């Protein structure tokens, strides 16, 4: 592989499983208990944590490990697997420059433990620490939180309480009710999910608020304060574009959806957004509401991380990179593929998850885009390697030779002592 093709990131996330015990004959074990590959407990597992490597410049991905746990995987186990995977990746020549996860409490705790360990080693003079990076065997890793998950968290908080923010020295307040007003006035102007925070919706809300537009029955009027909500949507649209750009321009007028370069606006947008998030807070409506939920600090840490990645890659001589590579879409699509096995298996057991995991590896992600799932195509159609690598062997002349099956496995005697009708049924079902 070329050097740039070895640059990658580590993704990790979990999905829920059904609590079910299954005897696995080839391994002679009962699957369904907590199991991290080295230690099994008597607790019945209901979650699986998966780790995946994904290329930054080259579009490849490879699931490398998973573990079963009761509830979420504890932070200490995540830290151990994280370090083991990075060390093994380093050993084969891969360069893990970043890691990405969502804002699960155990994930965040594990990241803090890794960062604190790096700072402690730096104080002892063992390594050189850079900001809040993670250093494992000399490999500096920048941790980011998944931008799509953080955008959803911002939206979910805005659903129940207004958001106060300062932009260009002016304090403004955004309210979800302004979006509802806009939808009632013109539903075609408003779309859902992350597209709510878009330039087109911002323009619609801004226009309606400037002109105090009303619904047809005149029961709702868009207030002039809606312009402040439009400003928030416009800010979030630019922010999301800046962390979701590929190696080509998305469309005219959307330069932030292109690659990060030394002269692109990405660095300016990130610096500006950090300042806005530092002064941003929600206005509590009921007791217990948090004015500064964790997502605001996660955005700050992630944007600072993007700035560090930008600096380090340009320092190494790279002229551009795709910010869109630094998200969890590849892993989310993998989970989607697991769930759509056997048409619909939204809550697999430990045993079925293991089988589907192997099947996806063997099939080389033939259908790599998850149908009807909650994220975009991750564009990684290739595994880092394929099954042929594992079953082939080199001859002296360098050509690959596939081992031939010389002896067919014996048919168990219990299948031979059956009636013709039973044998016909077995042949039909097994193909």
- What is the model's pLDDT at position 340? 80
Instruction: Report whether pLDDT(10) > 70.
Output: yes
Instruction: Report whether pLDDT(196) > 70.
Output: yes
How far is Cα 103 from Cα 16, in angstroms, rounded to an integer? 16
Q: What is the β-pairing status of strands 47-55 and 33-35?
A: unpaired
Cα-based distances in Å from 171 to 140, 228, 232 = 38, 9, 11
Percent of the chain residues topping a pLDDT of 70: 83
Stretch 88-104: mean pLDDT: 95
Tell me the pLDDT of the chain averaged across its residues.
86
Stretch 49-78: mean pLDDT: 94
Site of tokens 């050097």: 3
Out of 58-72, 294-308, 363-377, 408-422, least confident range:
363-377
- What is the model's pLDDT at position 56? 95
Q: What is the pLDDT of residues 50-63, one digit of tens each?
A: 999 999 999 899 99
> 48: closest CA among 62, 68, 32?
68
- What is the model's pLDDT at position 363? 73
> 169: closest CA among 274, 78, 275?
275
Residue 344: pLDDT band (50, 70, 90) is low
Q: Where are the domains of the chain?
A: 3-145+327-389, 149-292, 398-430
Stretch 70-78: mean pLDDT: 94
Stretch 103-128: mean pLDDT: 89
Q: What is the pLDDT of residues 157-192, one digit of tens each?
A: 999 999 999 998 999 999 999 998 888 888 766 655
DSSP codes of every residue in 250-278? -STT-GGGS-B-TTSTHHHHHHHHHHHHH
């Amino acid at each position: 592989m070329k050097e740039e093709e070895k640059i990658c990131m580590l993704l990790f996330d979990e999905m829920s499983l059904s609590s079910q015990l299954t005897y696995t004959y080839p391994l002679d074990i009962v699957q369904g208990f907590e199991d991290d590959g080295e230690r099994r407990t008597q607790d019945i597992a209901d979650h699986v944590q998966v780790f995946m490597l994904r290329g930054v410049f080259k579009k490849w991905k490879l699931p490398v490990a998973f573990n079963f746990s009761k509830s979420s995987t504890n932070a200490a186990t995540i830290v151990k697997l994280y370090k083991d995977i990075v060390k093994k990746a380093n050993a084969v020549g891969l360069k893990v420059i970043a890691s990405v996860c969502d804002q699960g409490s155990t994930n965040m705790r594990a990241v803090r433990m890794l960062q604190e360990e790096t700072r402690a080693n730096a104080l002892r003079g063992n390594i050189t620490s850079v900001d809040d990076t993670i250093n494992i065997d000399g490999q500096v890793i920048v941790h980011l939180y998944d931008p799509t998950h953080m955008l959803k968290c911002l939206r979910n908080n805005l659903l129940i309480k207004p958001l106060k923010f300062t932009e260009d020295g002016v304090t403004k307040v955004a309210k979800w009710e302004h979006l509802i007003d806009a939808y009632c006035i013109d539903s075609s102007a408003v779309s859902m999910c992350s597209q709510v925070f878009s330039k087109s919706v911002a323009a619609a809300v801004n226009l309606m608020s400037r002109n105090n537009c009303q619904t047809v029955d005149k029961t709702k009027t868009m207030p002039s304060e809606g312009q402040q909500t439009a400003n928030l949507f416009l800010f979030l649209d630019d922010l999301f574009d800046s962390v979701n750009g590929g190696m080509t321009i998305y469309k005219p007028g959307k330069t932030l959806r292109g690659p990060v370069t030394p002269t692109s606006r990405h660095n300016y947008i990130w610096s500006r957004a950090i300042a806005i998030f530092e002064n941003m807070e929600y206005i509590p409506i009921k007791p217990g509401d948090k004015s500064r939920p964790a997502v605001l600090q996660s955005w700050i840490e992630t944007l600072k991380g993007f700035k560090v990645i930008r600096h380090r890659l340009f320092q190494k001589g790279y002229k551009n990179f795709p910010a869109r590579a630094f998200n969890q879409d590849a892993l989310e699509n993998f989970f989607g593929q697991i769930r759509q096995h056997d048409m619909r298996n939204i809550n697999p057991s430990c045993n079925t998850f293991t089988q589907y995991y192997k099947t996806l590896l063997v099939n080389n992600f033939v259908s790599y885009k998850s149908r009807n799932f909650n994220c975009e195509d991750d564009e990684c159609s290739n595994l880092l390697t394929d099954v042929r690598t594992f079953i082939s062997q080199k001859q002296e002349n360098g050509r690959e030779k596939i081992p031939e099956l010389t002896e067919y496995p014996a048919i168990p005697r219990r299948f031979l002592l059956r009636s013709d009708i039973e044998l016909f049924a077995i042949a039909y079902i097994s193909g």
